[in-house]
Structure 1
């Protein structure tokens, strides 16, 4: 793999911003850390001399580095070999496999979200599912990279996943046929009533330009002018910080889009409107942004910017709550350090860390027959062991409010199916826009 090419393209918000790694900076160690380094070296010597089997130096050193970073937060990591290749494929959005965004949780593989339209999505895998076995083999306790490698494979080959879904009494098996995951970062369709629906599935290269092209195509399809736009960021785990800024800038004409604040020099940065695209491409058009618990990081930047500037109404469910920035620091040609170096904030100064983006209108996905049971076990950033604490503080009662039942949303999945409604959140957003006039809050800017 050409690491230089990767480094040039990896400004990710999961989020990753590139920082120079200087030899002097890496070599500088505080004097009072000496005794702790002596302890580390003593352990290394004991293991080398007394472990039941010979151990290679690279195994011990890589293990020490991984353990050090794991003690910080869930997103800092040492990347080499296959780990670094996984990052490259995530940036390129082209690989053979299932199409899942997963996280390791206490030795288990937990699904953050399936990519929309992927083999895993088509097979019915849902956010919050635990994958316990692959082809009958228990994967609990494996390193996440090992488990992911087992799920990947040649397109057209089949795999059987054993899934535990919180709320169900028994695990169940799901057969999935691997495919070439050429993620379409942006898809779109014209809804009845000249309502545009643009789905942003992940923030890879050129997403801002792709959304602009989608907008132009929707305009050409419409009979007359478009009457509203749904910007769908559900189950979008994030990606490029630059593309999150570019997408926001399509609909904003002034003010701040996002800021990041860190401890190191150069880590406190402000991103403003009118720096990527000029003007608002949908001026005076009402916009609804859809989010859910799988909307993370870059998705939260866009939703927060449009919400704070009152350019869109945010609907759906509280987002994942990942408000930290990871910097990719090259360590030679074939390794890198992914290190949390900053927090990011919406234009109003709100940190999404832990609490996420709270929708203006909470709309449950009533068309999901497992909604009630899955909501009890929905995973967000605040559930990850070792996550950063929101320095502004999030009150427990604010998160508990999300569980209260809204009397407007009482239909069951079966009742919606008889009405031909397969996606209730999208249906509700489109219906809202059909009833919205040009003076509504979703079409105003400050």
Structure 2
């Protein structure tokens, strides 16, 4: 294949950004809602005059049937037909028949959403989504985003947006409904396992900065680097972070790609190459036919910047796509231990085919494989050391306007009782019954947090409790603590 590379800039299709010809792909991951929409996948933009289109034989029986149906409807349907709608419907039907959550037809605002800039700030809730079955599933909330702060998690299913069912929606349609201006709100109905709940999120500006770094406060020779996504500046930001931490005394590093939904493949390769000896494999891309293309660590990838200090990588079920490429490369080609929980499992590559100025479609065209040739799609990467958050970190979010009080019974009260116990208040038996003991625990929590001591679980108290739980989860980071423990032994 000899196809034009589209370097990721403010418009992935802009001709002025074209640089050189390459054998395959540019970007990686799935659909990201409210931030970097459409960038977190492997995308290759081609036109109708490409080899893909030229290979079609429109004289085949199938296309003859399609043409016959079109002509019959257009000429004999009892109402006047819209030719564009008929054609778009046929295209949508063909793509939908693949049953692939990453392949979809995009037109109008959907297409422009796909092509949003990745070089500025965005207003939304900051979570990656994909279509799964009839509904929309969260792949990963972005660290520090409204979605993350509200307690949304990987594998949560969005069954409704502003009380509109998402059944049958594309991920792009859901994205358009969820995005919006800063300080406006959007209400999501979430299904987590067998429980369903509603959460109202206030949209915010999602910053482009993708790397956060600091020295461990107790072990100042250990540098912590969090990579929240793989976008344009990530290689430079990671390099700068490592350089700065080295000057501050870091002798080893914890690289955190938890809740990282992915990003640009080339950025993942460049950063992976920093940690892997030249010549060793970073990943493979395998199309339906032909040999896999193998990418190797090299000076051309990392510019000669290498990290030889001890490293641990943190992953979880929100680590997807490009972050899995990074984690797998370090694990399999540099013997770096992975710590945390199993990653998401996104192992396919997409391209974007331009149909005209207002429409295009995404199509999955290849698998990507780890350095040793494994395909992790729907399986994920298994960490060397399993380290989970405490059980209360996986509770459903309680976020509604209802007030609970003495003698009330509810599954939500049971959740709150568990949370009260986690923050050091004794609610008595955790059974969903608002007992005298639970009331005393609520009053004590309200007193400790400068709230009106009503003894009732009003929205203000519930919101404060959710915030306290989120902070406690962050302060009791089991995976990070395990990584620090391991590095102090080396």
User: SS where residue 320 of structure 1 aligns?
Assistant: coil
Tell me the TM-score normalized by structure 1: 0.78
Please state how far the C-alpha of 1:290 moved relative to its aligned partner. Answer: 1.0
User: SS where residue 338 of structure 1 aligns?
Assistant: strand
Distance in 2 of aligned mates of 1:154 and 1:188: 29
Q: Cα deviation per residue 1:89-123 (whole Å; 9 max; x = unaligned)?
A: 36346322111211222332221111111111112
Which residue of 327, 330, 339 maps to 1:315? Answer: 339
Are positions 1:38 and 2:64 aligned together?
yes
Are positions 1:176 and 2:201 aligned together?
yes
User: SS where residue 116 of structure 1 aligns?
Assistant: coil
* 1:122–1:336 CA distance, 2 compared to 1 (3 A): same
Please state how far the C-alpha of 1:176 moved relative to its aligned partner. Answer: 1.2
Distance in 1 of aligned mates of 2:316 and 2:473: 23
Partner of 1:324: 348
Distance in 2 of aligned mates of 1:350 and 1:42: 45
RMSD of equivalent CA atoms: 3.2
Q: Cα deviation per residue 1:379-403 (whole Å; 9 max; x = unaligned)?
A: xxxxxxxxxxxxxxxxxxxxxxxxx
Is this contact kept in 2: 1:292–1:319, CA < 8 A? yes
* 1:93–1:304 CA distance, 2 compared to 1 (3 A): farther
* 1:358–1:244 CA distance, 2 compared to 1 (3 A): same
Partner of 2:372: 348
User: SS where residue 16 of structure 1 aligns?
Assistant: coil
Is this contact kept in 1: 2:130–2:136, CA < 8 A? yes
Q: Cα deviation per residue 1:6-38 (whole Å; 9 max; x = unaligned)?
A: 97499211242536544464133248x711112
Please state how far the C-alpha of 1:302 moved relative to its aligned partner. Answer: 0.8
Are positions 1:65 and 2:91 aligned together?
yes
Partner of 1:378: none
User: SS where residue 361 of structure 2 aligns?
Assistant: strand
* 1:311–1:145 CA distance, 2 compared to 1 (3 A): same
User: SS where residue 239 of structure 1 aligns?
Assistant: coil
Distance in 1 of aligned mates of 2:273 and 2:254: 16
Which residue of 258, 267, 272 maps to 2:297? Answer: 272
Larger mean Cα displacement after TM superposition, 176-185 or 300-309: 176-185
5+ residue gaps, structure 2, are 1-9, 20-24, 30-40, 398-420, 425-468
Please state how far the C-alpha of 1:280 moved relative to its aligned partner. Answer: 5.7
Distance in 2 of aligned mates of 1:98 and 1:56: 36
Higher relative contact order (Cα pairs below 8 Å, separated by 6+ residues): 1
Are positions 1:200 and 2:227 aligned together?
yes
Please state how far the C-alpha of 1:314 moved relative to its aligned partner. Answer: 0.8
Larger mean Cα displacement after TM superposition, 337-346 or 289-298: 337-346
Distance in 2 of aligned mates of 1:99 and 1:121: 8
Partner of 1:428: 482
Are positions 1:127 and 2:181 aligned together?
no
Please state how far the C-alpha of 1:261 moved relative to its aligned partner. Answer: 2.1
Are positions 1:76 and 2:91 aligned together?
no
Distance in 1 of aligned mates of 2:94 and 2:288: 19
Partner of 1:91: 118
Alignment of 1:15-414 (within 5 A): 15-18=41-44, 20-21=46-47, 22-23=49-50, 25-30=52-57, 34-48=60-74, 54-72=80-98, 73-89=100-116, 91-92=118-119, 94-168=121-195, 171-191=196-216, 192-194=218-220, 195-220=222-247, 222=248, 225-254=249-278, 255-263=280-288, 268-279=293-304, 281-283=306-308, 285-366=309-390, 368-370=392-394
Q: Cα deviation per residue 1:340-387 (whole Å; 9 max; x = unaligned)?
A: 22222222222222322221112222264326x99xxxxxxxxxxxxx
Distance in 2 of aligned mates of 1:87 and 1:419: 34
* 1:51–1:104 CA distance, 2 compared to 1 (3 A): farther
Is this contact kept in 1: 2:393–2:473, CA < 8 A? no
Is this contact kept in 1: 2:101–2:130, CA < 8 A? no
Distance in 2 of aligned mates of 1:248 and 1:49: 58
Tell me the TM-score normalized by structure 2: 0.71
Which residue of 2, 14, 20 maps to 1:4? Answer: 14
